[in-house]
A = this chain, B = another copy of it.
Amino acid sequence: MAAGGGRKVVCITSGGTTVPLEQRCVRYIDNFSSGHRGAAAAEYFIEAGYAVVFLYRIGSVLPYTRSLPDEPLLECLELDDDSNIRVRKSCAEAVKKYHAAVAGNLLIKLPFTTIFEYLQMLQIVAQAMKPLGRYAMLFLAAAVSDFYIPWQSMAEHKIQSASGPLDMRLVQVPKMLSILRTEWSPLAFCISFKLETDSKILLEKADMALRKYKMHMVVANELQTRKEEVIVVTLDEKIPVHRDKSQPDSDVEQPLVELIVDKHSTYINNHR
């Protein structure tokens, strides 16, 4: 619980959005994102006393399932000698934690697939969190499409392959972060993520995003090293956050969430 008594609530967005290429959609452009970061962060925020609204791409990683095999149902259950079904011990802990979080009203999951669903749900959630004021946080880790094909220029039917190369023109997705900050939930503590593959432009782009969209923090990460290190960019500082390499199972999300929770408390307390 927050010091002032109010429950702190974080909306975590996680996974990639898609943009359809045809009106009756067979093909779409997708953004690679496993959802691992958002799922891990959700677990740590719940541990820190937050309630989590988990806005996630269908099929991406869910909280408490990171340590499980790829096909958990098939691989976590086993038959004993009498053909009874049993849960493998290594999987049981995750399931217990998940059910405890749901039963305690600390985790609600909302799935999306397309960029259109994502933006609409983000608006609804952010507006619903507006009454929480500074106790609300938006942790925008989803990999949101930058380009899309407007409905009126989309092919109605499946694009045919017989007629040679395919030329496509995609236009920019309107940036909604400014509207989120000014209208949907103006007091919420806002963290966005910047992923690049080119380290040379990463910090500059993170800094630009911070100023342009008035984020409280931008977490800069590079595709190749994102599981080892991120850099938290604020107006005043650039803070590198590493996973604890002395622990084999450690992750970068644990120290990252610790830092964010701390900064969020300061944000709440400074404006009392």
Give the B-binding residues of A (Cβ under 8 A).
18, 21-22, 24-32, 58-59, 62, 64-65, 68, 70-74, 76-79, 83, 85, 87, 91-92, 94-96, 98-99, 143, 146-147, 156-159, 161, 164-172, 195-198, 223-224
Task: Give me 5 A-to-B residue pairs in the complex whose CB atoms sit less than 8 angstroms apart, sorted by A's number.
Answer: A25-B32, A59-B59, A62-B74, A65-B74, A79-B96
A247 to B79, alpha carbons, bound, how many Å? 31
Separation in Å of the A50 CB from the closest CB of chain B?
A: 20
Residues of the B chain whose Cβ atoms lie less than 8 Å from the Cβ of A18: 30
Minimum CB distance partner of A146 in chain B: B161
**In the assembled complex, which residues on chain B have CB atoms less than 8 Å from the CB atom of A171?**
165-166
**Roughly how many angstroms separate A88 CA and B136 CA in the complex, as a whole number?**
36
A166 close to B169 (CB less than 8 A): yes
User: In whole Å, how far is A25's beta carbon from the nearest beta carbon of chain B?
Assistant: 6
Identify which of B22, B28, B32, B165 contacts A26 (C-beta below 8 A).
B32
Known A-B contacts A79-B99, A169-B166; A197 and B29 likewise in contact (beta carbons under 8 Å)? no
Contacts of A77 in B (CB 8 A): 87, 95
Q: How far is the CA of A64 from the CA of B68 in the complex (A)?
A: 19
Given contacts A96-B79, A157-B197, A165-B171, contact A32 B24 (CB under 8 A): no
Given the complex, which residues of B lie within 8 Å of A98, measured CB to CB?
Answer: 74
